[in-house]
Amino acid sequence: MQEVSELIPTLFDQRTRPDPYPCYAALREREPVPLATGRGVMLGSFASCLAALRDRRLSSDRTVSWAYSGDPAATTSRPEIQSLLFSDPPDHTRLRRLMSHAFTPGMVERLRAFVRARIDDLIDAAAPAGRIEVVGGLAYPLPLSVIGHMLGVPGSDMKWLHARSMVLPRAFDPAMAAFGTPPPGHAERMVAEREMNAYFLELGRRRLRSPGDDLVSELAMVSADGDRLSERELADNCRLLLNAGHETTVNLIDNTLLALLRHPREAERLRADPHRASAIVEETMRWDSPVQILQRFVPRDLRFGEVDLRAGDIVVLLTAAAQRDPAAFADADAFLPDRTDGRHLGFGFGAHFCLGAALSRMELGLLAPRFFQRLVGPVLDESSVRYREQVALRGLTRMDVDFTDVRPRELAWPL
C-alpha cells in the first residue's frame, strides 16, 4: 500500500490518467490528506466534499489563498478575474442574477434544431471513411460551434479563439495547492487569457453600439433592478462561457461515448430506448466526471470537521473520489445508469451549480442516441484511446471508432 506522501504525486503522474480511480480511492480512505505545502488538505469522501461545498465559510475567491496572494491576510483585494467561477456572494449573486437572464429553458430549446443539424453534419463528414475520430471529429466541434453560435462570435474568429482556449484547462489543476508550483504553461495561459479578454471587451462594445440576436448582445444589454454588467465583467464572463461552454461538454461527450462503447449492452439499450440518454448522462457525470477536482479557499482561521485551517489555506475536493464513495453509492465503481442513488457533484453544487448544465444535458442527450442510431456496428479501437494530461478536468485527446455503414440523416430523430 502506498504511503500518503506518494499518493498525491501518483495522482498527477501521467501514467495514472487511464485509470485514476484506485488512487482516488486510496486518498479518500485516508482523508483528510495534508498537502505537502502544509497549507491545506485534500478531502475525498462524498460527505466531506458535500459539506465543504455547503460551508459558506469557504470561498471560491482564489485571491484569498496563499497561492494567489502574496499576503494571505490581504482578503480585501479584488479578484483579477471578475467571473462567476471565482466569486462569492454578494458579487456572485449579482453576476448570476444578471447572467441567468440569458440562460432560460426557452433559450436552450431554441438551440435544439441547430444542435441536431450540427450532429448530423459531423456524422455525415465521417461516413465515407468508415471511421470517426470522436474527439476531433465530434466532441470538440459540436459544443464549440454551439457556444460560438450562442455568443454570436463570427465563424472566422473561432479558430483563433479555440487555439487560445486550448491552453487554459491546465489552470484548474491544483498544482499550486499540492506542490507550491503552478501547472506547466502558466505564462502561456496568462497571455491567452489577456488576448481573449481583449477580444470579448471589443466584441461587447460593438454589440452595445449595434446589438444582434446573440448572447453577447443580451449580456451587454441585460439589466436587473437598474444593475448591469460592467465592460470588464462582460469580457471576463464571455471568456468563461466560451471555455466552460465547450470544454467540459467535450469531455462529457468523450467520457459518455467511451463508457457506452465499453459497455455494449448499455449502448444497445440506448439504441432501443433513446429516453435512457438522460440517465446515461447523469451516471457518466458520477462515474467518470469531466470535472474531477474542485478547490475552495479559506478567508480566515476556522475549524472544518476535525481539521484546523488557517487563513490562506486551500481545500482540495476530490469529487471524482467522492462520486465513487461506497458509503454514498451502492456498487460505486460500476457504470449503472439505472441506479436510484445517482446524485452527483459533476455540475457543482448550490450557488455554483453550473449555469450551462441544461445546455450540456441537451447536447449529449441528442448526440448519444443519434450516434448509435445512425452508425451501424460501431466498434472502439482501444489502441487509439489517449487521455488528456489534465488532472482536474478528465477527457480524451483521441478515440477512433470504426463502423460498417451510416444510416441516412433523413431518419427520424429518436428524441
- The angle that helices 155-165 and 186-209 make with each other, rounded to 10 degrees, is 150
pLDDT at 204 > cutoff 80: yes
User: pLDDT band for position 6 (50/70/90)?
Assistant: confident
pLDDT at 156 > cutoff 50: yes
All structural domains of the chain, each given as residue ranges with its CATH number in brackets, are: 4-69+86-406 (1.10.630.10)
In Å, the largest CA–CA distance within the chain is 63
Question: In the chain, pLDDT over 90 holds for what percent of residues?
Answer: 61
| CA 25/CA 2 separation, integer angstroms | 12
Residue 254's pLDDT is what?
A: 96
Please state which of the ranges 25-34, 95-104, 153-162, 244-253 shows the lowest mean pLDDT.
95-104
Q: Give the mean model confidence (pLDDT) for residues 337-342.
A: 87
Residue 179: count of CB within 10 angstroms of its CB:
15
CA dist 375 → 138, 215, 261, 379 (Å): 13, 34, 12, 10
User: pLDDT band for position 70 (50/70/90)?
Assistant: low
First to last CA, the chain: 48
DSSP 8-state code for residue 138: I
CA dist 310 → 42, 66, 231 (Å): 15, 10, 35
User: pLDDT band for position 396 (50/70/90)?
Assistant: very high
Per-residue pLDDT tens digits for 102-129:
678 888 888 999 999 999 999 999 999 9
DSSP string, 193-243: HHHHHHHHHHHHHHHHHS--SSHHHHHHH--BTTB---HHHHHHHHHHHHH
| CA 24/CA 317 separation, integer angstroms | 11
Residue 72's pLDDT is what?
A: 40
Residue 301's pLDDT is what?
A: 97
User: pLDDT band for position 78 (50/70/90)?
Assistant: very low
| CA 2/CA 27 separation, integer angstroms | 10
pLDDT at 350 > cutoff 90: no
Q: What is the pTM of this model?
A: 0.92
pLDDT at 45 > cutoff 60: yes
pLDDT at 220 > cutoff 70: yes
Residue 225's pLDDT is what?
A: 62
Residue 18: count of CB within 10 angstroms of its CB:
9
pLDDT at 325 > cutoff 60: yes
Residue 341's pLDDT is what?
A: 81
Residue 279's pLDDT is what?
A: 96
Strand order in the sheet with 33-34: 33-34, 40-43, 314-317, 294-297
In terms of average pLDDT, the best of 188-197, 204-213, 283-292 is 283-292
3-state secondary structure 77-137: CCCCCCCHHHCCCCHHHHHHHHHHCCCCHHHHHHCHHHHHHHHHHHHHHHHHHCEEEHHHH
Q: Give the mean model confidence (pLDDT) for residues 56-75.
A: 74
Buried b / exposed e over 67-93, threshold 16 CB at 10 Å, is bbbeebeebeeebebbbbbbbbeebbe
pLDDT at 189 > cutoff 60: yes
In terms of average pLDDT, the best of 53-67, 332-346, 368-382 is 368-382
DSSP 8-state code for residue 146: H
Do the beta carbons of residue 261 and residue 380 sit within 8 Å? yes
Residue 103's pLDDT is what?
A: 74
Per-residue pLDDT tens digits for 228-266:
888 888 888 888 888 877 888 999 999 999 999 999 999
Mean pLDDT, the chain, as a whole number? Answer: 89
User: pLDDT band for position 25 (50/70/90)?
Assistant: very high
Residue 51's pLDDT is what?
A: 96
